[in-house]
Amino acid sequence: MIIQSGCSTAGILDRSGKRFGSEEIVSAMKVMNERNNGLGGGFAVYGLYPDNKNDYAFHILYNSELARDQTEIFLEKMFKVVGHDKIPCEEKFGAPLIERYFLKVPKKNLVNIDEESYVVHCVDRINSEILGTFVMSSGKNMGIFKGLGYPGEVAEFYKLDQYKGHMWIGHGRFPTNTPGSWFGAHPFGLLDLSVVHNGEVSSYGANKRFLESFGYHCSLKTDTEVFIYLLDLLLRRHKLPLKTACNVLAPPFWSLPKSPEEKKELEIIRRIYAGAIVNGPFSIIVGHKGGMFGLNDRIKLRPMVAAEKDNLFFIASEESALKKSYGSFDRLWAAEAGNPVEGDLDVQ
């Protein structure tokens, strides 16, 4: 069966900060296997490393030992490495080398740059300058695990049943414009942000050129990559409120009723951020240190539902993905086109 609306996405957040295992998110992703074709799957986990919660956790894929050696020289130069190991994985033919590093930023390195911008700069240099290396995730107390295969297979490969977190985000990929690959699977991450995407970005070229004007490099040639850099630019660097950032990515139609003040604001952000408007059908789930949110394109060409039950907040491509594990909900609703649905962590 071909699912024309593409990939599968799901997110589960315990707003109280209670950590739980991978069983429910993996089950949700398996329910939606018909949306996938085995060419990519992955998970982002938050609250993953409580013993190293103040360190940047780099999950890195390597295509060769040379790439690993070059990257480790760079990491030793730019950071204080306080922990390093191979991420436990099953044996799998064709899998890259996959390693994990816990890093601190030396204060002496922060000359005319803040710590998070420094980390982003280092991630960009690794991904764009060291051939055969890709930083999957670089945030604190979180990590991304992704690769080729269905989501359930990826979970088994990384032995995710050994981990706990207060938020899990999953993705099953049905590549349309780009080939499936370990590097190009979802989620995409940068600092504490992670994003999973269902759909297509037909404005990829314009978005890529806009991002390059701010110093970002889209090195993977996959449309979803622009989302993580646009979100970093809008939310971290330009400090836009979430609703405003969503109006940049998925601007509402001019014909919709708006006050004069709202119309003026929309005119301004469209002029400033014309290159950041994302065209094409999409739904995304975005994780961050304070919770998660979901966003549809402005005419909702990709499905997305949200739900609440006790302390839990959910977002998924399908209601059925959540019902298998949780049955009924206190509240269940369809996300509105162009308007974010948000779940916030009650404790930081």
Residues serving a catalytic function are 7
What does 9-52 look like in DSSP terms, one character per residue? EEEEEETT---B-SHHHHHHHHHTGGG--SB-EEEEEES--GGG
Burial class (CB in 10 A: 0-12, 13-18, 19+), 302: buried
Percentages of the chain per state (helix, strand, coil), in multiples of 5:
30, 30, 40
What 119-126 contacts at long range (C-beta under 8 Å, 24+ apart), as own/partner pairs, is: 119/56, 119/191, 120/190, 120/191, 120/232, 122/74, 122/78, 122/79, 123/190, 124/215, 124/216, 124/217, 125/74, 126/60, 126/71, 126/74
